[in-house]
Amino acid sequence: MSTPRDIDTRLAHPPQDRDPRTGASSCPIYQVSTYHQPDPEHLARYDYARSDNPTREALEEAVANLEGGARGLAFASGMAAVSTAFMIFGTGDHVVVGNDIYGGTFRVLTTIFRRWGLNATLVDTGDLEAVRAAITPQTKAIYVETPSNPTLRITDLAAVAALARERELLAITDNTFMSPLLQRPLELGFDIVVHSATKFIAGHSDLIAGLAVARDAETGRRLRQIQNSMGAILGPQDAWLTLRGLKTLGVRLRQEQRSAEILARWLAGQPEVVRVYYPGLEDHPGHDIHRRQASGGGAVVSFELATRELAVGLMKGVRLPLVAVSLGGVESILSYPATMSHAAMPAGERAARGITDGLLRLSVGLEDVADLQADLRQALDAAARPQ
Ligand SMILES: *Cc1c(COP(=O)(O)O)cnc(C)c1O
């Protein structure tokens, strides 16, 4: 594995930046299930593709290199990566989890893992004392998302990592919203980073993939044992597409972030907009912490309109953004957390987290920012007109 250099250089030159056999400029897609064994008494490096596939391995090495971890693993989805991290723990164990996490993570914790006997306490991880107070003798890990989804609340990663170390817990984070371009939690003391690579990392809204990176080899071995046993692996075609997406992560996300910041400031000045959530705004709660631990506000802006009718009207009126679940694509995506990403969360829980019926989440894509702004303006006008 190459030694860390500038992140842009690492994106353009992943550890396997040329094929050792042919010099080919990208890793071949090893579309295989099994490998001939010349010596059946001593199996070779590759024996079965659930365990090891060279294309998947190239992606796993690439993400480990970007996050600065000992071991990367690629999964069939972000949820497979998230679930694998929780499968480290067993019946009777306890985890402290952010209360503003991705809806699917909330669902898997409160259904499957509850049945499995893993207990979770949800707290505002932006409040370190609340995290500390939730730790019990059974606690094994702290799991956070920052910025969180969809209200982009900020958690101090270094402080959580220090608390976890002090209490001998694993510190785990979902870094999907930032990607390793903008935030590298392992460098701040975290033990495991997970990603929905479906979003910014692959970046083109054309596949589902998940990644996990462990800081040390032993944690990596535990994750790998689950990956190999459960079998929720990423296939070689999607591993290859994810590798391709990674190469342009820098130019895509920086451009999207520039536009997001412009749109966040513009939205804050529109009369129909009650509130804007964007970590790049100086008055966003936790802005200073975010600036210390990440190199930008990212490309996701959430904003609240006064009523459900206005929010629905805006979604029906926009022409450029897809109105859809997901984020991180080259096209802007406007999501409605109440019925999409957070539909699995009971209405009461949603309301307590600021996920009102007027809340919209905009993942800013690569369109011209003036075109996006004009489109949002005409859709706001249309939404406000009596039907
Ligand atoms: C989308 C998403 C996930 C789930 O990833 P999938 O690839 O859809 O399984 C997990 N966490 C966050 C923050 C996400 O945005």
Residues of the chain with pLDDT under 50: 1-2
Distance CA 15, CA 224 (A): 20
For the CA of 79, the nearest atom of ligand 1: 9
Q: Ligand 1 mean position to 40 CA, how many Å?
A: 41
Choice among 56, 71, 140, 199 that is catalytic: 199
Cβ atoms of 260 and 280 closer than 8 Å: yes
pLDDT of residue 50: 98
- Maximum Cα–Cα distance across the chain: 77
The pLDDT value given to residue 51: 97
Tell me, what's the pLDDT at 260? 98
The alpha carbon of 288 and the centre of ligand 1 are apart by a number of angstroms equal to: 26
Instruction: Report the nearest atom of ligand 1 relative to the CA of 208.
Output: 7
The CA 341 to ligand 1 mean position distance, Å, reads: 9
Q: Give 29: exposed, middle or buried? Use CB within 10 Å, 0-12, 13-18, 19+.
A: middle
Q: What is the pLDDT of residues 188-197, one digit of tens each?
A: 999 999 999 9
Distance from Cα 202 to the centre of ligand 1, integer Å: 12
Fold observed for domain 33-247: Aspartate Aminotransferase; domain 2 (3.40.640)
Question: What does the pLDDT read at residue 1?
Answer: 40
* DSSP E strand stretches across the chain: 71-75, 94-98, 119-123, 139-145, 170-174, 192-196, 210-214, 273-277, 300-305, 322-323, 333-335, 359-363
Parse the chain into domains and list their residue ranges: 33-247, 249-384
Tokens, residue 59: 């992606």
What is each CA distance from 55 to 68, 299, 370, in whole angstroms? Answer: 20, 29, 40
Atom of ligand 1 nearest to the CA of 149: 13
Tell me which of 93, 174, 238, 357 is the catalytic residue: 174
Residue nearest atom 2 of ligand 1, based on CA coordinates: 196
pLDDT recorded at residue 100:
87
Pocket perturbation via mutation, ligand 1, pick of 145, 192, 198 by most ligand atoms within 8 A of CB: 198
CB 176 within 8 Å of CB 249? no
Residue 254 three-state SS: helix
- The residue among 91, 183, 187, 102 whose CA lies nearest residue 144 is 102
User: Which residue, judged by its Cα, is nearest atom 1 of ligand 1?
Assistant: 196
- Res 387: pLDDT: 65
127 a catalytic residue: no
Q: What is the pLDDT of residue 328?
A: 98
Active site residue 124: no
> In whole angstroms, how far apart are CA 287 and each of 126, 146, 155, 157, 292?
12, 11, 10, 13, 9
How many whole angstroms from 199 Cα to the centroid of ligand 1? Answer: 8
- pLDDT tens-digit map of 100-112: 899 899 999 999 9
Residue minimizing CA distance to atom 7 of ligand 1: 78
- Architecture of domain 249-384 in this structure: Alpha-Beta Complex (3.90)
